[in-house]
Chains A and B, each alone.
Chain A
Amino acid sequence: MLIYQLIGCVIGIIGLVISLLRFRDGKMSLNMLLVWTVIWVLLIVFSVYPTTTSLLSNITGIGRGLDIILIFGLIGCFYLIFKIYGMIETIEEEITLLTREIALNKKDNSGEKSDDEP
């Protein structure tokens, strides 16, 4: 086994374990677990049997097996960044909304309290 195969396997296994642990702790949804499991298993398969990538490259018509992995890897990364960016924006907006609601509600409540006071 060549070194890159070993590294690929180790990273894949670590990734799988982390994903499973996060799912067990309720920090990851089932959907995301499936996506990540597919990614890590593919990484392990491609590391152990590098020739399988040639099969894919023949189907898609992209020159070499390694190229196809790099291309899909890059596209996948960009997609993930885009998705995460969108999620952060949404969360920021929601936090702002909550903050504003808290400010307005708190005032209402403190107003009621001071009305109760003599």
Chain B
Amino acid sequence: MNSENGLFLEKYGKEIFIVMPAFNEAQTIEKVMGELIPKGLQLVVVDDGSNDKTYSIVKKVEKKYPEQVHLYRHPINRGLGAAILTGLEASLLANPMVIVTFDADGQHHVDDLLPMVKPIIRQDADVVIGTRNFHEMPLRKKFGNHVMNIITRIFYRINVGDSQSGLRAFSLNAAKIIELHSRDYGVSSEIIGEIQRKQLKLVEVPIETIYTDYSLSKGTDTKIGLKILAKLIKNIFK
């Protein structure tokens, strides 16, 4: 199995672009990158105006692996949505087969990547979303994420297992045609909405989440859920 994965990565590694939006992730980003680089994947890191050492850390890694790491920097913080968009646009320049968004806070398992990428390379899917196990999720996260799923269902008429997952894979074509406007965390729901609007083939793959105190302090909880709700309602009146 492992050698099969090794062969697969050898063949397609260069065609897989990992977009990693990072805002103040100095604590974890080097470790996360360290796990991805040996797999031969291409990394597009977007530093979203961090005010810690994220930029210099990634710059150092970029110098070490100039063929694999590509660092972009927003001079000021513009939010997750903007960072993902920059990452997608930068990746599209290279016309890869697959573009994956991967959180820099260390909550994703590198081993979950291949099951996500394979359906796209096999052309079984245009977009793959990694679905976290809600039973393992801490309560306040679970509540926020459940609410976001319901909201996404109401606003975008599509039912997905985990609308706020940070681990998503896009085919080249899907990445080209989806249109995103949301600047902050609302982008996750917007992506789901675009899958529906552009009639893209969606596959959901269960993934593992690594919960640490650090990764828990980031991402969707109840407060962010309410913020996203306000934003979605605002969008109706636009």
Contacts and interface: CB of A to CB of B under 8 A. Distances in A.
Given A92-B183, A96-B183, A104 B78 contact: no
B78 A96 contact: yes
Nearest to A114: B66
Contacts of B90: 104, 107
A105 to B, nearest CB: 10
Interface band, chain B: 10 to 19
Nearest to B238: A89
Contacts of B22: none
Given A96-B183, A100-B85, A106 B74 contact: no
Contacts of B75: 99, 102-103
A93 B85 CA distance: 13
A48 to B, nearest CB: 41
B232 to A, nearest CB: 15
Interface in B53-99: 70-76, 78-79, 82, 85-86, 89-90
B73 A100 contact: no
Given A92-B183, A104-B90, A107-B70, A99 B46 contact: no
A103 B183 contact: no
Q: Is the interface of A mostly helix, strand, loop or mixed?
A: helix
Contacts of A107: 70-72, 90
Contacts of B70: 107
B183 A100 contact: no
A99 B74 contact: yes
Interface of B: 46, 49, 70-76, 78-79, 82, 85-86, 89-90, 181, 183
Shortest beta-carbon contacts, A-B, top 3: A103-B72, A100-B86, A96-B78
